[in-house]
Amino acid sequence: MSKRGSAAARAPHSKDLAARAPWLSIALAALAALLAAVCAAWPDVALRAWHAALERAPGARARKSSSPAGAASARARPEGIAEQAPCLDDSVACPQWARLGECAKNPNYMAQTCPLSCGVCDQAPRRTRKASTCVDEDESCESWALTGQCVKNADFMLAKCRKSCGVCGPYGPACERLSDAAVRPGDMNATFERALAHFPEYSPQVMHRDPWVMRFDNFMSDAEADHIVALCADSFQRSLAGDRVSSVRTSDQCWCNWGTCLDDPIIQAVEQRIADVTRVPVVNGEFMQIVRYGEGQFYREHHDQNSASWSPQGVRVYTFFMYLNDVPEGGETSFRKLALKVRPKKGSAILWPSVLDSEPNKTEPGTYHEAMPVLAGVKYGANVWLHMHDFRSVSQRHCLFTMKNTEE
């Protein structure tokens, strides 16, 4: 007899068993139905039961002990050696900051906040993370943050997704407000009156009151204006309207936010001059933006106040705009609601408020303005937007609220 035949003789087919014991067929069918119901209703329970059965099966222990993975998991951690804390980033923005080179530019902050993205996990003992009161209240917060909702939908996100937005306590280390308000109710009127009385060397002229628009006919020398233009000779790019390219603004721009420009003595002298006139510290100003308009280029009517009062830098309080060359035709700064146009004149500047004197966190509706099309030649100018609180220090920490519009 073959071995196959021998095995069949020792293990009768189920049909033979059913024939010998009819009740067994009924029991097997009932058991099968019960198992099917359990698997359908409680798949996790069924899966655990299946794994338990495998563990109890003959040879299971031998298989487990012979497996390298099993042997590794069976080894106990040596007594006295604590489990190492995971290396994690504290902000969802860490990978983007790392791609922008911030691990090298801002090593202390990045090593503390973004060790995983900067690849510095093994350079120092990993800190044990304590339970944090700064948490997300929705499981979708991280994905929302990655799509820009921390800025686009700030009111909701700051309340519900503080961890993913990196704005813990109340703004997070990168977005901590660093100064008191530079302007109080009533200060703006006093500042314009003071500028008119105390800076005759700049030839101030009142172009409009309530709201104020003031022109300084001799704010800088021709040599200073030429020098500022030359700093950006090879650095102009398409201007943004707010934080995006738009058909409403067709000029080119250059930000004075790199070392050589920031350290330039003429730039520093002009920025200090602006601070003296406005009584707003230099650090409250955004980095100087140099603009270039070719023939036919313009910036349609808009308002400069695009920063929320709750942001660490606060609202844009003033705009200080400087004309860096004479324009043969066109290129005026037009305040339509005030029936006012200011013609470009090299070395001159204009100053206007973006908020109300009585309520300096509210937008001044009268100072919507437009850069009229250049009809002949080219126009060069420079913007400095002054905020209620320190902008530059927070910006250098890469607080996301200094990178995007947050108007309320």
Sheet holding 204-208, edge to edge: 204-208, 213-216, 349-353, 316-323, 379-387, 289-293, 252-255, 237-238
Residue 25 burial (C-beta neighbours within 10 Å; 0-12, 13-18, 19+):
middle
Mode of pairing for the β-strands spanning 252-255 and 289-293: antiparallel
pTM of the shown model:
0.61
The number of residues making up the chain comes to: 408
Can you name the residues that pair with 215 across neighbouring β-strands?
205, 350
CA distance 389 to 179: 6
Instruction: Provide the pLDDT for residue 99.
Output: 77
**Residue in 238, 355, 342 with CA at minimum distance from that of residue 297:** 238
The Cβ-side half-sphere exposure at 335, using a 13 Å CA radius, reads 22
Give start and end residues of each alpha helix (H) in 184-331: 187-198, 222-231, 259-262, 265-278
pLDDT for 16 equals: 45
- The sign one gets for the Cα dihedral 63, 68, 73, 74 is positive
**Residue 388 and residue 180 in contact, taking contact as beta carbons nearer than 8 Å:** no
Q: How far apart (Å, rounded) are the C-alpha atoms in residues 126 and 219?
A: 54
Rounded to whole angstroms, the Cα distance separating 316 from 367 reads 12
Question: Which helix (H) or strand (E) segment is 144 a member of?
Answer: helix 141-146
Please give the CATH superfamily to which domain 187-402 belongs.
q2cbj1_9rhob like domain (2.60.120.620)
How far is Cα 126 from Cα 110, in angstroms, rounded to an integer? 14
User: In which residue ranges of the chain is pLDDT below 70?
Assistant: 1-85, 91-93, 96, 109, 124-134, 151, 154-155, 158-159, 166-173, 239-246, 248-249, 404, 407-408
* pLDDT in the model for residue 35: 54
Q: Rounded to an integer, what distance in angstroms lies between the CA atom of residue 405 and that of residue 80?
A: 52
Q: 216 Cβ partners below 8 Å, 6+ apart?
A: 199, 202, 203, 204, 205, 277, 348, 349, 350, 351
Nearest to 252 by CA among 82, 361, 141, 382: 382
| Domain boundaries along the sequence of the chain | 94-175, 187-402
Secondary element (H or E) of residue 53? helix 43-56
- Summarize pLDDT for 18-66 with one digit per residue, the tens: 444 555 556 556 665 555 554 444 444 444 444 444 344 444 444 443 4
Return phi, psi of residue 42, to 5°.
-130, 75
Using CA atoms, how far residue 163 sits from 19, 147, 393, in Å, is: 68, 15, 22
Report d(CA 172, CA 162) in Å as an integer.
Answer: 9
Whole-number pLDDT of residue 63 = 40
Using N-to-C axis directions, what is the helix angle for 43-56 and 22-41, rounded to 10°?
Answer: 120
Single-letter amino acid code for the residue at 4: R
Q: Two tokens at 139?
A: 């499981």
Tell me the torsion sign for CA atoms 309, 311, 312, 315: negative
Written as six digits, the tokens of 64 are: 């487990």
Distance CA 342, CA 215 (A): 9
Tokens encoding 389: 């609180």
